Structure 1
Amino acid sequence: MVSSSLALGITIATVAAFTVVGLLAARGRVRSVDDFISARGTAGRGTLTATVVASMMGAWILFSPAEAGAAFGGVGAILGYAIGSAVPLLLFVPVGARIRTVMPSGHSLTEFAYARFGAGMYLFVLLVSVFYMFIFLAAELTGIAGALALVAGIPHWQTALLVGGFTLVYTAYGGLVASIVTDTIQTLVILPLLAISFAGALLALGGAGELHAAAVATDATLLDPTFRPALEFGAYVAFAILGANMLNQGMWQRVYAADETSSLRRGFGVAAIVVIPMILLAGLFGVAAAALGLTEAGTASVAFFLVLEEAFPTWVTLAVVVLAVLLVMSSADTMFNAIASVVTADLARVFDDVEQRTLWIGGRGLTIAVALGAMVVGVQGYSVLELFLTADLLAAAVFVPFLAGLYTERLTGSGAIAASVSGIVVGIAFFPLARAALAVIPGAGDVLPEPSFLVAFVGATGLSAVATALAAATTDAGVDLDTLDREIRRLDDSVTDGGREVDE
């Protein structure tokens, strides 16, 4: 096991270094609330690609894909995970362009929900989106806390406090401006570290031939891409990731941060290509762990680090600790900013005469509150994959009627809510992780269907899509999409940055 003091020292040095980078990057550049929550028009193609990759590829790629490879079907499950992660980024290419056309002055997905559907659907989207982003944060902190506890014996609370606290410092100060700059640097470090980690592990464990033989001897289905449970896992994970990212405010922020539509298309498109090998490499650690017999009950989620301990000397493990910390910071700052931007934009709509500095402070205050809550959940040691699936189910049922509002003027707010609720009801009825909670309802055990993740996610998305189509065909909201942008309050007045007034 790695020395606790050494691992803790490297963690502190890493988070402190990127905190300084974030603070310096934002100094003098956050001149308005709009800069803070959208960094509108500041990211070119390369920068946008890097920040999208870093934002989406949090520390979960060291846990969930490896857990999928070790416990949910081997290479077939990993392939589904990789493709499912790329699909929402590709979908943002046309959807992002449409968002910028319909609401060029917008800031958040909840702004769009309110302007397009009214208060009911707005509240629905707000709750699902914030819940997902909170769970994302908690899962990230859960993962890094568990990893450092495994390799160095560091208490969960210390890791969660360090990583969450330092990230919060530069995020609360510099907003999206700081996040984009640190994301760019983190991506340049993360990609080679991940590749070197896999190549080094492969060589240390005897090469691909040795691992292939071990996998065949242990469980041949680990290498079978047609293994049915693996295909089912890949299918429902694809639906889960798609829905979650369509309601991820962090992605909406980056749509507006693109300096032009061509940068948006190129940035999200290239990011979709980049994430596939990243997830494949991370997931293969899980296959290796299962093949070598390293995974026991309850340890599949840390399969990546089990292989590291088996294959690498201490100094290499420490390098991967840096990788894990960077991954957490790159996605945690996205979620912090995303939640703050939702609240800031909504406060601006509710309180027309509120000062923009007050909005800024309010957004920072909520960021701190959410961060503390996520840290508390993060030290509990829950399954990272199960945390994500719980939040993803709600998003899978809501994203179709939500996005339909971008393209049709007929769908009403009540129709969108009805479609979302129908999807959620079906999803929960089949959702295995909800079975214990549903079982306490008298007589529920006699009527509940056989639990299935696949049916839960496909059913939630499919039924909400059918209900959306029916609602749009039978009603007419009479909404003029060309006028939605008029309802958006501009947030480009100057605010105090770093203790001094900044003029426009």
Structure 2
Amino acid sequence: MVSSGVALGLTVLTLAVFTALGVWYSRGQVQSVEDLITARNSAGRGQMTATLVASVMGVWILFAAPEAGASFGIAAVVGYAIGEAAPMLAYAKIGPRLRSVVPEGHSLTEYAHARYGDAMYAFVIVVSMLYMFVFLAAELTGIAGALSLVAGVPQWQTAVLVGGFVLLYTGYGGLRASIFTDTVQALLVLPLLVVAFAGAIFALGGAGSVHESIVSANPSLLDPGFTAGLQFGLALSFAILGAELINQTWWQRIYAGRDSETVRSGFRSAAVTNGLIVFLGALFGIVAVGQTEIVTALGAEYNADIAFFLLLQSAFPEWIVLAVVLLALLLVMSSVDTLFNALSSVVTADLLRLLSDPDDRTLKLGARALTVVVAVAAIYVSLRAQSVLRLFFFADLLGAAVAFPLVYGLYSRRLTGTGALVSSVVGLAFGLAYFPDFRGVITGLPLVGDLLPAADPLYLTSFGGAFLVSTGLALLAARLSSTEHDLDDLSRNIRSLDRTATDGGTASGEDVAPAEVRE
């Protein structure tokens, strides 16, 4: 095993270098709270694609994706890849529409409030922030587990170091620092991932030898018609699509793009790249099954979430394994800084409704203080989590239930706040009824437990049901509604934080030109 002191030293060095880069790049560029949380119209096509790729290249690519592949095979690998590409394609359409309807927006929650009112807003902010928080905790759980496996570094040390260093440059430079470091990380990580996969196949004797090993260990993993794999893969497609549509990370970057065409092309490019990356990552899990003992049932011996690193340990010297862990560290940084910014931007945009005439300095302090609170809480949760994939699953269920009713309001004038909320809540209730995780808690509810159907261990009924039920109810609610919402009100009610603070904390009500006109 690599010395924990060496591993810890290299970890600190890597974190320090990227922290310095983030602080250096953002010096003098954060003059207002708008600069801190939106970096509005600042990212060109190259940066836009790079930040969309790096932000999704979290450590879950080396943990959750291989875990899915090791457990359910090639069908789950394909489902994971499609699930990750689908929301990027959706945002290629949603992004320009959002910039047109809400040209000076910042967050999905302020849109939810302006479009649907207080009740739906409260539900969306809880769901969205809980999703991003769980995502953040899962990232820290993954990298802490990797360093513990490879070098025996205590998990709390890794979690504190990663959270602390990333907090330094995101708290200082905000989204601008995040986009810049994302770009550097994408340029480094993408080729290294390909080299790591090709090197592993070569070290294991080539594709033929790897294939024989998998067939010998569990041939069903390579069967595209494997029923369990197909169901699980389809479940992942629903889960990831729904979850990513309530992820403030992407709503924030829609406004950071230079113009609508930049946003459209950036998300399209990211769809292809992210799908291929996830496909590659999930394949690692299948390959690992043929080379080492992978335990896929949760329990004391469970290790499917570290299948990728178990594979590397069986094929490479320790120093190469450590190098890959440092690669994973870059993946974590790219996602953690993104999530810090996303979470702080949600609350900062909403502070205008909670505080009386806040000035720009107050809003910036609020954004930075919240980032600190989130970091500390996520570190705490990460030290008690077991499966990265299971953490994501709970977060994904929330998104699957809320996503369509939330986004549909950008297109439908007739969907009301009540209709959107009821659709989301019923969809979530349906998904929870079949959700296998936390089953003991759910069945223990008075008057509810005895009525629940059997849980779906492959999650398809849960994720697919939550998404389709909420979608169907939202469409029905819009069809039956007799009222219409004036979408032009969104551009009048959601204003730049700079201009709103200058106006005294409230929107002035004057018309704002659509994004395409202003650009």
| TM class by smaller structure | over 0.9
Provide, for residues 53-106 of structure 1, a one-character-per-residue CA deviation record: whole Å limited to 9, x for no partner: 1111201100011001111x2111111101110000000001111100100000
The answer to whether the 8 A contact 1:121-1:416 is kept is yes
1:400 corresponds to which of 395, 400, 404 = 404
The answer to whether the 8 A contact 2:292-2:311 is kept is no
Q: Does 1:329 align with 2:328?
A: no
Q: What corresponds to 2:263 in structure 1?
A: 264
Q: What corresponds to 1:15 in structure 2?
A: 15
Q: What corresponds to 1:500 in structure 2?
A: none
CA distance in 2, matches of 1:36, 1:393: 30
Provide, for residues 182-218 of structure 1, a one-character-per-residue CA deviation record: whole Å limited to 9, x for no partner: 0000000110111111111111111111110011111
Q: What corresponds to 1:490 in structure 2?
A: 496
Q: Does 1:310 align with 2:314?
A: yes
Q: What corresponds to 1:174 in structure 2?
A: 173
Q: How many positions carry a matched residue from both structures?
A: 494
In the TM superposition, residue 445 of structure 1 has moved relative to its aligned partner by 4.6
Q: What corresponds to 1:502 in structure 2?
A: none
CA distance in 1, matches of 2:81, 2:106: 29
Q: Does 1:46 align with 2:52?
A: no
> TM-score if structure 1 supplies the norm length?
0.96
In the TM superposition, residue 177 of structure 1 has moved relative to its aligned partner by 0.4
CA distance in 1, matches of 2:498, 2:174: 14
The answer to whether the 8 A contact 1:348-1:489 is kept is no
- Relative to structure 1, the CA distance from residue 340 to residue 464 in structure 2 (aligned partners, 3 Å threshold; closer, same or farther) is same
Counterpart AA for 1:408 = S
The answer to whether the 8 A contact 1:349-1:489 is kept is no
In the TM superposition, residue 444 of structure 1 has moved relative to its aligned partner by 4.4
* Structure 1 unaligned spans of 5+: 496-504
Provide, for residues 368-390 of structure 1, a one-character-per-residue CA deviation record: whole Å limited to 9, x for no partner: 10110000011124200000000
Q: What corresponds to 1:498 in structure 2?
A: none
In the TM superposition, residue 322 of structure 1 has moved relative to its aligned partner by 1.4
In the TM superposition, residue 328 of structure 1 has moved relative to its aligned partner by 0.5
The alignment-based identity, stated in percent, is 53
The answer to whether the 8 A contact 1:4-1:154 is kept is yes
In the TM superposition, residue 361 of structure 1 has moved relative to its aligned partner by 0.3
After TM superposition, the structure 1 = structure 2 runs for residues 208-287 of structure 1, keeping only pairs within 5 Å, are 208-287=207-286
- Relative to structure 1, the CA distance from residue 45 to residue 146 in structure 2 (aligned partners, 3 Å threshold; closer, same or farther) is same
2:380 corresponds to which of 376, 379, 393 = 376
CA distance in 2, matches of 1:108, 1:406: 14
Q: Does 1:206 align with 2:205?
A: yes
CA distance in 2, matches of 1:411, 1:116: 9
Q: What corresponds to 2:513 in structure 1?
A: none
The answer to whether the 8 A contact 2:291-2:314 is kept is no
Q: Does 1:467 align with 2:466?
A: no
The answer to whether the 8 A contact 1:349-1:488 is kept is no
CA distance in 2, matches of 1:35, 1:333: 16
Counterpart AA for 1:17 = V
Q: Does 1:158 align with 2:157?
A: yes
Q: What corresponds to 2:55 in structure 1?
A: 55
Q: What corresponds to 1:116 in structure 2?
A: 115
Q: What corresponds to 1:357 in structure 2?
A: 361
CA distance in 2, matches of 1:216, 1:397: 38
Moved more, 281-290 or 172-181: 281-290
The answer to whether the 8 A contact 2:434-2:462 is kept is yes
- How large is the RMSD of aligned CA atoms in angstroms? 1.4
After TM superposition, the structure 1 = structure 2 runs for residues 89-100 of structure 1, keeping only pairs within 5 Å, are 89-100=88-99
The answer to whether the 8 A contact 2:344-2:367 is kept is yes
> TM-score if structure 2 supplies the norm length?
0.93
Provide, for residues 149-208 of structure 1, a one-character-per-residue CA deviation record: whole Å limited to 9, x for no partner: 011100010000011110011001100000000000000011011111111111111111
Q: What corresponds to 1:29 in structure 2?
A: 29
In the TM superposition, residue 352 of structure 1 has moved relative to its aligned partner by 5.2
Moved more, 273-282 or 123-132: 273-282
Q: What corresponds to 1:388 in structure 2?
A: 392
Counterpart AA for 1:217 = S
Q: What corresponds to 1:66 in structure 2?
A: 66
Counterpart AA for 2:466 = A
CA distance in 1, matches of 2:484, 2:208: 63
Q: Does 1:415 align with 2:419?
A: yes
CA distance in 1, matches of 2:94, 2:127: 20
CA distance in 1, matches of 2:136, 2:285: 23
Q: Does 1:6 align with 2:6?
A: yes
Counterpart AA for 2:395 = A
